Amino acid sequence: MTAIATPDAAVAVSPVTGAPATPAGVDPRPHVVIVGGGFGGLSAARALSKAPVRITLVDRTNHHLFQPLLYQVATAVLNPSDISVPIRWVLRHQKNVTVLMGEVDRIDPATRTLALDGGTTTLAWDYLVVATGARHAYFGHPEWEQDAPGLKSLEDAIELRRRFLLAFEAAERSTDDAERDALLTFVIVGAGPTGVELAGIIPSVAKESMRDDFRRVDPARTRVILVEGGPRILATFPEHLAARARTDLEKLGVTVRTGCVVTAVDERGVNIGDERIEARTVFWGAGNQASPLGRQLGVPVDRAGRVPVEADQSVPGWPNVFVVGDLAATRHRDGAPVPAVAPAANQTGRHAARSIVADLEGRERPRFSYVNKGDLAVIGRHRAIAAVGPFKLTGTIAWLVWLFVHVLYLVGFRNRLSVLVQWAFAYLAHQRGVRLITHATGPGRPLPSLVPPRHLADERTAPAAATNAPTPVAR
């Protein structure tokens, strides 16, 4: 017999059929398992707070993450703790929820079970909500990830921050002008909201916050290149707003390249067709690839790995399995795709919960209808664009709307206050106070920026310079 972990007791499972038994003493309420503690999963759990169900929420990390501000962690504007909060703390007052930290590696809709951490734990469920999101896509070139990391998790943001800050440290140590130029060149691939916001904030951090920090290198020489394969940036925004965003980026000194496809990436730069760009730091913001768990649900998925869903967010053929957020290929009633954004994840998560409650109450499940609350993108100080219903905003007004909305959607008063304080300090003092390099090396190979510079010892009068020993370099 294999033990199945449930919030209240262990449930026996037949080694032949795998079907869960129902021993005496087990809570008779339907068991809802939610996989993923992001926007969709957390919204589903909260929407079931008063439902007569017991919930187990499983996530591979212990925290909920506010992804729209990850780029500010990556560029040393905010702390990781400013945009994340423990899932257990968020749900501490919701007594029908148990939170488990673990990684789901197998889902079996036929037996209504799933396995965690290589099968060490198995959960039985009456309803399943899968909200495991997506990662970045490299369009058939997974080897590019080690040299062009994307931005989907706190670990990604900390790694990007490390590379971003190490580029300036290495430039300070270099005595070769060409190498310095390459170290101070940042290429961002993909001009969606993440790529545009990264491209807009890097010049501000480099030219304002770092302007007095270095002696051998001028951060004002920082070069940012935004590369987009499509005909324009911010393809989901109205064209005139996207054009305004491009103008704002160019005023900040960003080189915007549209209609350009990256054909190669390595540790020393990128290729765009036959053109070579020497850049020691490349960030990836192009495309999404849905979580591989979607492929275990027994239905065809689209090119991005997303699962098609019915109007009630359930999986075709499996009415007790719901997919929400970025993993779901959700569509409007007219057939148009619902965008993969945080408001859509929140709404699909809540709708899955409503469908479960409708079943319990013997009602027909409602049809999902997406409410577009608007699209926002910030480019820099007093530079933003917003499309909110009939209103199309730019400049300071859009920037203030962006600030208000992002603070409003943060989870927890402490995070809202902390972010407000950090932003106020950055606005008034033109400084960012989180420029910490926490690991000398990180995932993948050490950066070329860690190669010891030549002749540095000759410029110093420290005792170590008088020896013949090489300059020690952290590895």
Q: How far apart are CA 311 and CA 293, in angstroms?
A: 21
For residue 208, count other CB atoms closer than 10 A to its CB.
17
Q: How deeply is 415 buried, as exposed, middle or buried, from its count of CB atoms within 10 A (0-12, 13-18, 19+)?
A: buried
- The mean pLDDT value for 383-409 works out to 94
pLDDT over 70 at 50, yes or no:
yes
pLDDT category, 287, cuts 50, 70, 90?
Answer: confident
pLDDT over 80 at 25, yes or no:
no
Is domain 142-286+374-429 given the CATH code 3.50.50.100 in the classification?
yes
Question: Which parts of 361-412 fold into alpha helices (H)?
Answer: 395-409
pLDDT over 80 at 2, yes or no:
no
Q: Which conformational region is residue 269 in: left (phi greater than 0), alpha (psi within -120 to 50 degrees), or beta?
A: left
Residue indicated by tokens 């730069």: 269
Contact at 8 Å (CB) between 302 and 329? yes
The fold of the 2-60+102-136+289-360 domain, in CATH, is FAD/NAD(P)-binding domain (3.50.50)
SS3 65: strand
Residue indicated by tokens 């002749």: 455
Among residues 167, 155, 219, 160, which one has the least CA distance to residue 194? 160
Alpha-carbon dihedral of residues 201, 202, 203, 204, nearest 10 degrees? 50
pLDDT over 60 at 474, yes or no:
no
Q: What is the structure's pLDDT at 461?
A: 36
pLDDT over 70 at 11, yes or no:
no
Q: What is the structure's pLDDT at 335?
A: 87
Instruction: Establish whether domains 2-60+102-136+289-360 and 142-286+374-429 are of one fold.
Output: yes
pLDDT category, 160, cuts 50, 70, 90?
Answer: very high
Contact at 8 Å (CB) between 398 and 238? no
Residue indicated by tokens 């160019």: 250
Q: How far apart are CA 170 and CA 351, in angstroms?
A: 50
Q: How far apart are the first and last CA of the chain?
A: 48
Contact at 8 Å (CB) between 47 and 360? no
Structure tokens at 68: 């729209």
CA distances from 299 to 116, 287, 317 (A): 21, 22, 8
Among residues 380, 260, 363, which one has the least CA distance to residue 312? 363
- pLDDT single digits (tens) 425-467: 888 877 766 677 876 544 444 544 444 333 333 443 333 333 3
Domain limits, the chain: 2-60+102-136+289-360, 142-286+374-429
Structure tokens at 20: 């869960």
Q: Which conformational region is residue 376 in: left (phi greater than 0), alpha (psi within -120 to 50 degrees), or beta?
A: beta
pLDDT over 70 at 8, yes or no:
no
Q: Are strands 185-189 and 223-228 parallel, antiparallel or unpaired?
A: parallel
- The mean pLDDT value for 150-163 works out to 94
For residue 302, count other CB atoms closer than 10 A to its CB.
12
Q: Report, as residue numbers or ranges, the catalytic residues.
A: 197
- The mean pLDDT value for 211-216 works out to 90
Q: What is the structure's pLDDT at 472?
A: 35
- pLDDT single digits (tens) 161-210: 999 999 999 999 999 999 999 999 999 999 999 999 999 999 999 998 89
Q: What is the structure's pLDDT at 22?
A: 42
Q: How far apart are CA 360 and CA 401, in angstroms?
A: 40
**221 or 442, which is more confident?**
221
Alpha-carbon dihedral of residues 307, 63, 124, 326, nearest 10 degrees? -10
Give helix then strand counts, H and E, for the chain: 10, 27
Among residues 94, 100, 83, which one has the least CA distance to residue 7? 100
pLDDT over 50 at 370, yes or no:
yes
Structure tokens at 394: 């730019």
Structure tokens at 100: 């488990």
Q: Work out the mean pLDDT of the chain and round it to a whole number.
A: 87
Q: How far apart are CA 446 and CA 134, in angstroms?
A: 27
**373 or 430, which is more confident?**
373
